[in-house]
């Protein structure tokens, strides 16, 4: 697992990214039976761009060949011009990926397409396998040659080597051998498969476009988040279930269970930060969860103040909830510049907090002389929070009370989220008051774990993974070697 190495573009030419945030590893989309499948996959990836900005790819099938296009960069750049016309087909899968920059990363861009003894097949994966390194070693000892250092390729090899001749059985066989987090979409010449690991760590939604395909039949679609469906005019039906493999072919749509569902461990951080607020994730509106987090935070950690100000964009919904519950006015006291490029040249004369100021600007007329409650969705290393608190004070805020809409992050994620090592997680080694002092806030409070669970609860249906807040992992095996650099199904 590689990490952005510097906070928010503090050196010349460095990537200006939110490196003090945890990063999602990728988003996937799949389309079955639509003459515009490549374009729809492209639109779906565009809606999922927030889940990964380093590379993207699409593989299509015209029922005779699979064709692919993948590159480093943003979705809109990668598929500009007539690229989509060159990969026309009626089936498509797509993938957008987060990783650190670097030439070798193109090697790991997905989908991964191979010619196997089961025919042409391409796989796109969101998640992280915790036993990939061990399986890969075994496969290499038996003569397998790997093209990438991605754990997704482990799945491809396992499918190819399965003794099962029937493809759904071969995929099921492969998926039973891997451990960890995976939401997968697979395309062959004439069918799409979609699968989720038995604990259901990462989301995967299923829907359809009415009469979108041949003979006015419906097109079937899958996506990491339902915001992709909205752009495609698709109707959300349900989530792929933990342990389920859905097969969509010309003759049938069939549900196979490759494994008995285990205790569910849906990633709660999807609701805290990763997913778009306009998505339904794990059957629950992300917007509703975030607003409830803010309300709960106001109940748990109220303070006398004049304004509630979000750290945009992801702190906005929680801040709305906090303001409503507390009765303290909500104001956009920090404005985000959305047009900061991926790299930026710092002026020769060093400007303090340059990276943050490039992205966030305080509204002095709102903040001057005010006691401010600043709401953010996470605090990972603390480096950015410190700068933001200083910006607020320099803009005239008399008090800055920091409120975080999740518990302290104390442990790394092994399930497909790019987290710093434990040593870099400030809450792993500092008390809340020590962090408060470090970031220079007048007070600091986090949402409790119980409060977070309550805020994300849809009835009592969803059981969440909260390992990055507890250090207790749901899988028996966490093989750190599986998290090799720039790999790992991301
Ligand atoms: S450890 Fe945290 S980020 Fe990783 S899956 Fe669990 S809740 Fe999500």
Q: Say if residue 413 is in the same domain as residue 350.
A: yes
Q: Say if residue 250 is in the same domain as residue 299.
A: no
Residue 421's pLDDT is 85
Q: What is the CATH number of the domain that holds 320?
A: 3.40.50.2020
Q: Judge whether 371 lies within some domain.
A: yes
Q: Judge whether 64 lies within some domain.
A: yes
Residue 121's pLDDT is 96
Please provide the average confidence, as pLDDT, over all residues in the chain: 88
Distance from the Cα of residue 258 to its chain's centroid:
25
Q: For the packed helices 286-300 and 449-456, what is the interaxial angle rounded to 10 degrees?
A: 150
Question: Residues of the chain with pLDDT > 70: what percent?
Answer: 88
Rounded mean pLDDT, 126-155: 90
Ligand 1 atom showing the smallest separation from residue 419 Cα: 3
CB burial string 213-248: b at 16+ within 10 A, e below: beeeebbbbbbbbbbbbbebebebeebbbbbbbbbb
Q: Say if residue 37 is in the same domain as residue 131.
A: yes
- The closest residue, in CA terms, to atom 8 on ligand 1 is 267
CA of 332 to the centre of ligand 1 (A): 29
3-state secondary structure the chain: CCCCCCCCCCCCCCECCCCCCCEECEEEEEEECCCCHHHHHHHHHHHCHHHCCCEEEEEEECCCCEEEEEEECCHHHHCCCCHHHHCCCCEEEEEEECCCCCHHHHHHCCCEEEEECCEEEEEEEEEEECCHHHHHHHHHHCCCCCCCCCHHHHHHHHHHHCCCCCHHHHHHHHHHHCCEEEEEEEECCCCEEEEECCCCCCCCEEEEECCCCHHHCCEEEEECCCHHHHHHCCEEEEECCCCEEEEECCCCEEEEECCCCCCCCEECHHHHHHCCCCCEECCEEHHHHHHHHHHHHHHHCCCCCCEEEECCCCCHHHHHHHHHHHCCCECCCEEECCCCCCECCCCCCCCCCHHHHHHEEECHHHHCCCEEEEEECCCCCCHHHHHHHHHHHHCCCCEEEEEECCCCCCCCCCCCEECCCHHHCHHHHCCHHHHHHHHCCCEEEECCHHHHHHHHCCCCCCCEECHHHHCCCCCCCCCHHHCCCCCCCC
Q: How far is CA 370 from CA 70, 117, 285, 393, 485, in A?
A: 49, 68, 33, 10, 46
State the first-to-last Cα distance of the chain, in angstroms, to the nearest integer: 10
* DSSP-derived pairing of the beta strands 26-32 and 119-129: unpaired
CA of 127 to the centre of ligand 1 (A): 10
- The closest residue, in CA terms, to atom 5 on ligand 1 is 267
Number of domains the chain contains: 2
357 vs 387: CA distance, rounded Å:
9
| Residue 233 pLDDT greater than 80, yes or no | yes
* DSSP-derived pairing of the beta strands 219-223 and 26-32: antiparallel
Q: Say if residue 238 is in the same domain as residue 311.
A: no
Q: How confident is the model at residue 163 (pLDDT cuts 50, 70, 90)?
A: very high
Angle at CA of residue 387, ends 383 and 392, nearest 5°: 145
Residue from 463, 466, 467, 469 whose mutation best tests the ligand 1 pocket (most atoms within 8 A of CB)? 467
| Residue 303 pLDDT greater than 70, yes or no | yes
What lies within 8 Å, CB to CB, of 475 at 6+ separation is 130, 179, 180, 199, 414, 415
Q: Looking at 257-261, 304-308, 474-478, which range is the least confident one?
A: 474-478
Ligand 1 atom showing the smallest separation from residue 411 Cα: 1
Write out the residue range of the structural domain in which residue 184 sits: 23-265
236, 265, 294: which is the final residue of a domain?
A: 265
pTM: 0.90
Ligand 1 atom showing the smallest separation from residue 464 Cα: 7
Q: How confident is the model at residue 486 (pLDDT cuts 50, 70, 90)?
A: very low
Q: Say if residue 77 is in the same domain as residue 188.
A: yes
More confident site: 5 or 183: 183
Q: Say if residue 293 is in the same domain as residue 201.
A: no
- Do the Cβ atoms of 70 and 57 come closer than 8 Å? yes
111 prior amide bond cis, ω within 30: yes
Q: Judge whether 47 lies within some domain.
A: yes
Taken in order 156, 134, 241, 167, the sign of the CA dihedral is positive
Q: How confident is the model at residue 477 (pLDDT cuts 50, 70, 90)?
A: low
CA of 465 to the centre of ligand 1 (A): 6
Residue from 413, 427, 472 whose mutation best tests the ligand 1 pocket (most atoms within 8 A of CB)? 413
26 part of the active site: yes
Q: Judge whether 275 lies within some domain.
A: no
Residue from 98, 465, 471, 483 whose mutation best tests the ligand 1 pocket (most atoms within 8 A of CB)? 465
CA of 266 to the centre of ligand 1 (A): 8
- Do the Cβ atoms of 1 and 418 come closer than 8 Å? yes
Q: Judge whether 196 lies within some domain.
A: yes
Q: How confident is the model at residue 344 (pLDDT cuts 50, 70, 90)?
A: low
Q: What is the CATH number of the domain that holds 242?
A: 3.60.20.10
- Do the Cβ atoms of 184 and 194 come closer than 8 Å? yes
Residue 308's pLDDT is 98
Nearest to 183 by CA among 123, 127, 253: 127
Q: Would you tell me how many other CB atoms lie within 10 Å of the CB of residue 393?
A: 18
Structure token pair of residue 367: 């903040």
Q: Say if residue 169 is in the same domain as residue 123.
A: yes
Q: How far is CA 406 from CA 3, 156, 349, in A?
A: 22, 36, 37
Q: Say if residue 335 is in the same domain as residue 408.
A: yes
Q: How confident is the model at residue 340 (pLDDT cuts 50, 70, 90)?
A: low
Q: Say if residue 313 is in the same domain as residue 227.
A: no
Ligand 1 atom showing the smallest separation from residue 22 Cα: 3
- The closest residue, in CA terms, to atom 4 on ligand 1 is 413
Residue 212's pLDDT is 87
pLDDT tens figures, 198-229: 999 999 999 999 998 888 899 999 999 999 99
pLDDT tens figures, 79-106: 999 999 999 999 999 999 986 434 457 8
List ligand 1's pocket residues with C-beta within 6 A.
201, 267-269, 413, 415, 417, 465-468
User: Which position among 26, 227, 406, 465 bears the catalytic label?
Assistant: 26
Residue 2's pLDDT is 28
261 vs 466: CA distance, rounded Å:
18
- Do the Cβ atoms of 21 and 176 come closer than 8 Å? no
Residue 99's pLDDT is 64
Q: Say if residue 137 is in the same domain as residue 243.
A: yes
Residue 401's pLDDT is 98
Structure token pair of residue 11: 């050196």
Q: Looking at 66-70, 127-131, 288-292, which range is the least confident one?
A: 127-131
Q: Say if residue 244 is in the same domain as residue 390.
A: no
Q: Say if residue 233 is in the same domain as residue 358.
A: no
Q: Judge whether 154 lies within some domain.
A: yes
CA of 417 to the centre of ligand 1 (A): 7
pLDDT tens figures, 420-475: 888 889 999 999 999 999 999 999 999 999 999 999 997 766 799 999 999 999 98
Q: Judge whether 482 lies within some domain.
A: no
Q: How confident is the model at residue 5 (pLDDT cuts 50, 70, 90)?
A: very low
Ligand 1 atom showing the smallest separation from residue 473 Cα: 1
Q: Judge whether 88 lies within some domain.
A: yes
What lies within 8 Å, CB to CB, of 270 at 6+ separation is 202, 203, 281, 282, 286
**Per mean pLDDT, which of 1-5, 116-120, 229-233, 421-425 is the most reliable?**
229-233
């Amino acid at each position: 697992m590689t990490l952005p190495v510097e906070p928010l573009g503090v050196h010349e030419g460095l990537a200006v990214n939110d490196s003090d945030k945890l990063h999602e590893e990728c988003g996937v989309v799949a389309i079955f039976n639509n003459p515009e499948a490549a374009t729809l996959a492209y639109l779906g990836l565009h809606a999922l761009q927030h889940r990964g900005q380093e590379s993207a790819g699409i593989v299509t099938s015209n029922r005779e060949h699979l064709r692919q296009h993948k590159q480093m960069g943003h979705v809109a750049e990668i598929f500009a011009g007539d690229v989509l016309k060159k990969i026309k087909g009626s089936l498509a899968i797509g993938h957008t990926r987060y990783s650190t920059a670097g030439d070798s990363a193109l090697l790991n861009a997905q989908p991964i397409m191979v010619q196997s003894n089961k025919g042409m097949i391409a796989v796109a994966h969101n998640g992280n396998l915790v036993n990939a390194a061990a399986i890969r070693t075994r496969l290499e000892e038996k003569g397998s040659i790997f093209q990438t250092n991605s754990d997704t390729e482990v799945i491809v090899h396992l499918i190819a080597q399965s003794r099962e001749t029937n493809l759904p059985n071969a995929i099921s066989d492969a998926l039973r051998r891997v451990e960890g987090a995976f939401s997968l979409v697979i395309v062959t010449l004439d069918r799409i498969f979609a699968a989720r690991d038995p604990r259901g760590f990462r989301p995967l939604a299923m829907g359809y476009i009415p009469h979108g395909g041949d003979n006015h039949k419906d097109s079937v679609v899958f996506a990491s988040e339902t915001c992709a469906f909205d752009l495609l005019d698709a109707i959300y039906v349900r989530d792929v279930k933990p342990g389920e493999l859905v097969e969509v072919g010309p003759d049938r749509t069939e549900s196979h269970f490759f494994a008995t569902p285990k205790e569910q461990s849906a990633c709660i951080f999807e609701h805290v930060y990763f997913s778009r607020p306009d998505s339904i994730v794990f059957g629950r509106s992300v917007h509703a969860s975030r607003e409830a987090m803010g309300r709960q935070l106001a109940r748990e950690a109220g303070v006398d103040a004049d304004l509630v100000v979000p750290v945009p964009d992801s702190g906005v919904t929680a801040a709305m909830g906090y303001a409503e519950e507390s009765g303290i006015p909500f104001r956009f006291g920090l404005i985000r510049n959305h047009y900061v490029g991926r790299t930026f040249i710092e002026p020769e004369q060093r400007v303090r907090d340059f990276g943050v100021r490039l992205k966030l600007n305080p509204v002095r007329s709102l903040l001057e002389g005010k006691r401010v409650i600043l709401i953010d969705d996470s605090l990972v290393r603390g480096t950015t929070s410190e700068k933001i608190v200083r910006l607020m004070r320099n803009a005239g805020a008399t008090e800055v009370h920091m409120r975080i809409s999740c518990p302290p992050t104390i442990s790394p994620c092994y399930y497909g989220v790019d987290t710093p090592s434990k040593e870099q997680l400030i809450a792993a080694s500092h008390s809340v008051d020590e962090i408060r002092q470090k970031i220079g806030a007048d007070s600091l409070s986090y949402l409790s774990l119980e409060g977070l669970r309550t805020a994300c609860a849809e009835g009592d249906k969803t059981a969440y993974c909260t390992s990055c807040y507890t250090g207790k992992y749901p899988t028996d095996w966490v093989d750190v070697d599986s998290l090799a650099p720039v790999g790992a199904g991301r």
